[in-house]
Chain A
Amino acid sequence: DGGITQSPKYLFRKEGQNVTLSCEQNLNHDAMYWYRQDPGQGLRLIYYSQIVNDFQKGDIAEGYSVSREKKESFPLTVTSAQKNPTAFYLCASSLEGAYGYTFGSGTRLTVV
């Protein structure tokens, strides 16, 4: 079954620590995206990548980093520079030229 997998589902991090969220897809999609959801804020774009070895900042990239070494994988690192990292993180993918995204099931990150 093709799909997009995010892991882990829940993640706890101590202040000052970096943490990496995994996103893997086997849909053969070209583009991948990371969004953050906060209550009342909708979905805000962190980073996106339209092709392997290339990625672009979204609207709220500060404190985050990504890599796209393989077409299937787009991990997101939440660094200690991110001032308010507690949120629900969503990864998505799409075919080039496609009109919609396929989303993963999300990772809830909590800073303790």
Chain B
Amino acid sequence: DQQVKQNSPSLSVQEGRISILNCDYTNSMFDYFLWYKKYPAEGPTFLISISSIKDKNEDGRFTVFLNKSAKHLSLHIVPSQPGDSAVYFCAARHMNYGGSQGNLIFGKGTKLSVKP
């Protein structure tokens, strides 16, 4: 039972355009969401996060939007650059931190390709 879903395994966009990566979740007890970026043969690195009390968080070219009623979040990258080509993982954390519930739950990832 997947609690965090990234339904698009891959996405291809042109350099300079907007990239939109989507993530859906099923557990209403998640209170914090993160995006990680991963290059091949490397560990994921933290990109941006958002608390469930907000609906938007922006950091430079990266913006994450949260729609709690739809249990949906999205990552916008504007403008997209070839160096953004990587796998992006969405992750969520349960509000009752402690024990197994405190662990991050990851989606399966979306591979973004930004073409020059």
Point out residues on A near B: beta carbons under 8 Å. Answer: 4, 6, 9, 33, 35, 40-43, 45, 48, 50, 56, 58, 88, 90, 92, 97, 99-106, 108
CA A56 to CA B98, docked complex, whole Å: 12
29 residue pairs bridging A and B, Cβ less than 8 Å apart:
A4-B43, A9-B41, A33-B103, A35-B106, A41-B108, A42-B89, A42-B107, A42-B108, A43-B44, A45-B103, A50-B102, A56-B99, A56-B100, A58-B103, A90-B43, A92-B43, A99-B32, A99-B34, A99-B49, A99-B93, A100-B104, A101-B46, A101-B104, A102-B46, A103-B36, A103-B43, A103-B44, A104-B43, A105-B42
The one of B43, B100, B102 in contact with A106, judged by C-beta atoms closer than 8 angstroms, is: B43
CB distance from A87 to the nearest CB of B (A): 13
Q: State the total of A-B contacts with C-beta under 8 angstroms.
A: 53
A108's nearest neighbour on chain B, judged by CB, is: B41
